[in-house]
């Protein structure tokens, strides 16, 4: 029997502001859409945290035995700088600044995105559609919205009439806003005169002559609005009504609010049952921002190449650090915090190794069924990974007292305990045992240090040919030597 039959999962629904019992539209099946990256720059650590949260959610749904169709898009056109309707497309701007074709920019940063997620042991989504691959679908949705009296054309662009929509629907129900407040706080924007109402948003934008990314449409050569892309891709692969829509907290308004409005204006029904939002990652108590220098990239954690870090940390240590906070909580990244997380991770991995050596006995002195139940209760309570980790460390304590023969488990209970620990540590949290990797790194460092000593001996003996040969061979392998007053060091 699938585990979802015996587990009651509750999800915090941003739409209702409450935890709700998860009941999929189709028994045993889950449709989940998560807003992916706009690929105009390297994916940053805050993005990684958001996608990691939904990777964990995806993994737990699979663990419960659901058949999950997980759709995560790539935004490769239409996302205007500053998330407004007027101005320059983020990808087109990057292409102009670097004198590249826009699709070169897209390819470069899509590859980077995939490489980073692979490093951190993400499962790939079921489908990863691109906005440029769904222009036809977006045009058809615009036609329907216009036909239903909610969209209008102005000088080759098409806008969504928020005031008209709000006569029969509630624009702002996800973010808790109302039109009056939005109107009072609206900024004056260039080109806003094309709109009937300042809070209307673009469905299609007419391309200026210098705009590189453009497609023909019934209204103009142009490009789709950012909000429309996700409506088109989510409904194409999950239907007009699906289970879960996720993304970062910053997307709640206007992006997700506009998605709801577009779906309701097009189909007459609400698109999503459960809206989920992951919270932000800060750095040393401040918002991460490239402009202020308070920023760290995922690869800098793995190499230790950041002024904010005392050393490099493995992907699994980073993942363990992230999972120690609930996905809806703000998480502050600091060197002290990840150093502490590494210690906890090492304790957990050591216990997983020791668990293999536990021998079953004739009786159990530990209540494994209750412990297992509490592990599932943690995850069933809106994917509460920090409470799960607390239960796993209770499991670490069990391993320690079993190892020193202060407690015993029957063969059946030991099997349940081992299976549960492995499932949550490796499958759901997606941690990997870095012991073999650490051993390999230690051996590599030992070999390099030996070669440095041989080179130093050669230099002392004035055998500069051998000294240079060792240095050149190491460089060819990607190992850079640096001679200083305190001796020779190396970097990979």
Give the residue numbers of the binding site for Zn(2+).
35, 230, 255, 259
Q: Which helix (H) or strand (E) holds 373?
A: helix 368-380
Closest CA to 361 of 392, 396, 402, 400: 402
How distant, in Å, are the alpha carbons of 93, 359, 478, 480, 482 from that of 488? 44, 48, 16, 10, 6
60 in Cβ contact with 217 (< 8 Å): no
Joined together, the tokens standing for residue 352 give 């997983």
CA 324/CA 386 separation, integer angstroms: 5
Q: Smallest Cα–Cα separation from 47: which of 65, 74, 28?
A: 74
Q: Annotated binding site for ATP, which residues?
A: 290
Cis peptide before 367 (omega within 30 of 0): no
Query: How many Å apart are CA 427 and CA 259, to the nearest integer?
Result: 32
- C-alpha–C-alpha distance, residues 270 and 166, integer Å: 14
Instruction: Transcribe 422-465 into DSSP letters.
Output: HIIIIIIS-----HHHHHHHHHHHHHHHHHHHHHHHHHHTT-HH
| CA dist., res. 125 & res. 59, Å (int) | 11
DSSP secondary structure letters along 32-84: EEE---B-SSPPPHHHHHHHHHHHHHHHHHHHTT-EEEEEE-BB-S--BGGGS
Burial (CB count within 10 angstroms: exposed 0-12, middle 13-18, buried 19+), residue 105: buried
Answer yes or no: are the C-beta atoms of 415 and 44 closer than 8 Å: no
Q: Residues forming the annotated binding site?
A: 35, 230, 255, 259, 290
- β-strand pairing of 201-206 with 157-160: antiparallel
Tokens 């989510």 map to which residue?
A: 234
How many Cβ atoms are within 10 Å of 383's Cβ, its own excluded?
Answer: 26
């Amino acid at each position: 029997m699938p585990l979802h039959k015996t587990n009651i999962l509750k999800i915090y629904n941003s739409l209702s502001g409450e935890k709700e019992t998860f009941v999929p539209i189709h028994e045993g099946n889950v449709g989940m859409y998560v807003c992916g990256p706009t690929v105009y720059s390297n994916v940053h650590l805050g993005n990684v945290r958001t996608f990691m949260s939904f990777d964990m959610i995806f993994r737990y749904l699979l663990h419960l035995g659901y058949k999950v169709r997980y759709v995560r898009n790539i935004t490769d056109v239409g996302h205007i700088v500053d998330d407004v309707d007027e101005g320059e497309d983020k990808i087109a701007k990057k292409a102009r600044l670097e004198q590249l074709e826009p699709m070169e920019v897209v390819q470069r940063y899509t590859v980077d995105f995939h490489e980073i997620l692979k490093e951190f042991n993400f499962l790939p989504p079921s489908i990863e559609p691109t906005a440029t691959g769904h222009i036809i679908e977006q045009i058809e949705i615009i036609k329907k919205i216009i036909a239903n009296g909610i969209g209008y054309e102005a000088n080759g662009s098409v806008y969504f009439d928020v005031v008209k929509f709000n006569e029969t629907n509630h624009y702002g129900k996800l973010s808790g806003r109302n039109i009056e407040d939005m109107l009072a706080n609206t900024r004056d924007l260039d080109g806003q005169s094309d709109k009937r109402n300042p809070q209307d948003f673009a469905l299609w934008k007419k391309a200026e002559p210098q705009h590189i990314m453009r497609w023909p449409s019934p209204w103009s050569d142009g490009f789709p609005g950012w909000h429309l892309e996700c409506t088109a891709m989510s409904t194409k692969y999950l239907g007009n009504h699906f289970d879960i829509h996720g993304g970062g907290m910053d997307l709640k308004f206007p992006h997700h609010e506009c998605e709801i409005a577009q779906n309701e204006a097009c189909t007459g029904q609400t698109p999503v049952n459960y809206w989920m939002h992951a919270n932000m990652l800060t750095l040393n108590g401040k918002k991460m921002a490239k402009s202020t220098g308070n920023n760290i990239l995922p690869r800098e954690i793995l190499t230790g190449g950041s002024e904010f870090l005392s050393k490099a940390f493995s992907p699994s240590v980073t993942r363990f650090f992230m999972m120690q906070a609930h996905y809806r909580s703000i998480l502050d990244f600091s060197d002290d915090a990840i150093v502490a997380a590494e210690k906890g991770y090492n304790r957990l991995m050591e216990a997983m190794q020791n668990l293999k050596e536990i021998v079953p006995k004739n009786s159990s002195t530990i209540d494994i069924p209750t412990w297992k139940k509490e592990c599932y209760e943690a995850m069933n309570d809106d994917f509460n990974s920090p409470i799960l980790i607390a239960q796993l460390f209770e499991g670490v304590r069990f391993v320690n007292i079993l190892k020193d023969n202060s407690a015993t488990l029957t063969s059946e209970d030991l099997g349940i305990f081992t299976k549960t620990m492995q499932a949550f540590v490796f499958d759901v949290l997606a941690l990997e045992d870095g012991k073999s990797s650490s051993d390999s790194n230690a051996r590599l460092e030992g070999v390099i240090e030996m070669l440095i000593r041989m080179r130093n001996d050669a230099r002392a003996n004035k055998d500069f040919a051998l000294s240079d040969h060792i240095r050149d061979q190491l460089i060819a392998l990607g190992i850079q030597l640096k001679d200083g007053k305190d001796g020779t060091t190396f970097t990979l």
